[in-house]
Structure 1
Amino acid sequence: MSITPESARQLLQSEDFGERLRGVNQLRQLDPAIAFDMVQLAAQDGNDRVRYAAISQLASLGHQDGNRLLGLLRQALLSDPEPDVQAAAADTIGALKLSGLFEDLKAQYYESSEWLVQFSIIAALGEFGDPRAFDLLREALGSDNELVKTAAIGSLGELQDERAIPLLLPFVEDADWQVRHRLVTALHHFTAPEARAALERLTQDESEIVAQAATQHLSIQTGG
């Protein structure tokens, strides 16, 4: 059976949330302009799984109508009762590089007590490459949550602001190899001698994964 706007709409209006979820997935096979109009219905759905799917799908549909897109994502980020949906909104904002929502992301980072929301916001800020994010990312380095801290390390690398280098260097000694691995990825964005020296040190890391990543990034930097 072929998928049409009518068949997808019928699913989206079903009383069964599983069918509504299936309707959201079917939107991927429709014309993006049509799918964007219809996904807005799902973004207001009473079931959080349906809203999550709809907000996540905006990453591929979001270039259809900028103003409506911003409104949908801002509402999901700031007002949705489910942290998963808020996090999906932050993920989509980052994927689409919607830096106009920077202040909303910043406000929600401080408002939310959910690590998943904070993690998604910090990751999104790295994708922006917006210098306004530096102070918040610096603060997130001190998060009690390891995943938030690790995301901040990666985002500071993506920001490529050399003020981050002295903030990142102490993590060479971090006990968690996953933190050190993310540090390698962050440091390769910088050409400063101290960043290179840290990468060289990490080529001797006790974790083979970290050591190999550092060796690979140094090779890329030197054209080897």
Structure 2
Amino acid sequence: MTTTSGDLPALLELLSSQNLGDRLRAVNKARELPPTAALTLLQRAVTDENARVRYAAISQLGTLSGEGVDPAALLPILRRFLREDPEFDVRAAAAAALGDLKQPQALDDLLEAYQRETEWLVRFSIVAALGELGNPAAFDTLVQVLQEEDELLTTAAAAALGDLGDPRAISHLEPLIDSDDWQLRYRVCIALAQLGTEAARPGLTRLAQDPQEQVAAHARAALASL
């Protein structure tokens, strides 16, 4: 049965239930509502005392689009939760949602949050969001993240640099070709392929000889399309 705007009052009532399952069910139903009705529901849900409900609501805000919903109007909500929510997974969801919205003006919020955050999951989500955002002003921060000792953060930064499409990233990505972590090498290979310039050819040529076939095959395909 399709959920419509007419179901909104009942779903809002569910959000007032003392039962956590009821409230989570209401938030999940927001996916089936028209955008404006979903926004009304989610704006109520993000104030819930339970972090699971807030997380579910915040995560959906990033994918909310359609007639009557201005993505820029969602920024103040997400900025506040990225900055203030006491639960790190909710802050991580806010960072991811900011990336999903692809509003360039969210850049400063993400960069400031990366500098103050100590929680790994939030930092990881921020780095990934910087790539999704596509704002070229994130370049310097992402290059700095490449120097992190955490290989998962480095991998996320390599992916984000590929998404930005700035060929200056090539010289920063090439040293990672020697990493022992094949998944990092694979992500570097994808990023170099995305950058797609002649300057990426030497790195891709090296990766075409990678012992991990998945890496080598992607590099060969990228070379063939240069």
- Seen in structure 2, the aligned counterparts of structure 1 residues 191 and 30 have a Cα distance that, compared at 3 Å, is closer
Q: Structure 1 stretches (4+) deviating beyond 4 angstroms?
A: none
In structure 1, distance between residues paired with 2:44 and 2:155: 35
For 2:27, the equivalent position in structure 1 comes to 24
In structure 1, distance between residues paired with 2:218 and 2:39: 40
**Given the two structures, how large is their TM-score scaled by the length of structure 1?**
0.93
Matched, 1:150 2:155: yes
Give the aligned CA root-mean-square deviation in angstroms.
1.6
- Offset of residue 50 of structure 1: 0.5
Give SS of 1:60's match. coil
Is this contact kept in 1: 2:59–2:94, CA < 8 A? yes
Q: 1:187 aligns with which of 169, 173, 192?
A: 192
In structure 1, distance between residues paired with 2:71 and 2:182: 41
**What are the ranges of 5 or more consecutive residues in structure 1 without an aligned counterpart?**
none
For 1:115, the equivalent position in structure 2 comes to 120
The residue type equivalent to 1:60 in the other structure is T
Q: 1:217 aligns with which of 201, 208, 222?
A: 222
In structure 2, distance between residues paired with 1:67 and 1:95: 12
Give SS of 1:143's match. coil
In structure 2, distance between residues paired with 1:62 and 1:42: 18
- Seen in structure 2, the aligned counterparts of structure 1 residues 123 and 2 have a Cα distance that, compared at 3 Å, is closer
Matched, 1:207 2:212: yes
Show CA shifts across 1:72-116 (max 9, x none). 101111111111111111111111102211111111101011111
Is this contact kept in 1: 2:2–2:32, CA < 8 A? no
In structure 1, distance between residues paired with 2:221 and 2:50: 45
In structure 2, distance between residues paired with 1:14 and 1:186: 47
Where do 1:56-71 residues align within 5 Å? 56-62=59-65, 64-66=69-71, 68-71=73-76
Identity %: 46
Q: 1:130 aligns with which of 122, 135, 143?
A: 135
Show CA shifts across 1:20-71 (max 9, x none). 0110001111121011011111111111111110001112225614454111
**What are the ranges of 5 or more consecutive residues in structure 2 without an aligned counterpart?**
none
For 1:6, the equivalent position in structure 2 comes to 9
Q: Aligned pair count?
A: 221
The residue type equivalent to 1:114 in the other structure is E
In structure 2, distance between residues paired with 1:2 and 1:120: 33
Give SS of 2:200's match. helix
Is this contact kept in 2: 1:62–1:69, CA < 8 A? no
Give SS of 1:61's match. coil
- Offset of residue 2 of structure 1: 6.5
**Given the two structures, how large is their TM-score scaled by the length of structure 2?**
0.92
For 2:173, the equivalent position in structure 1 comes to 168
- Offset of residue 215 of structure 1: 2.0
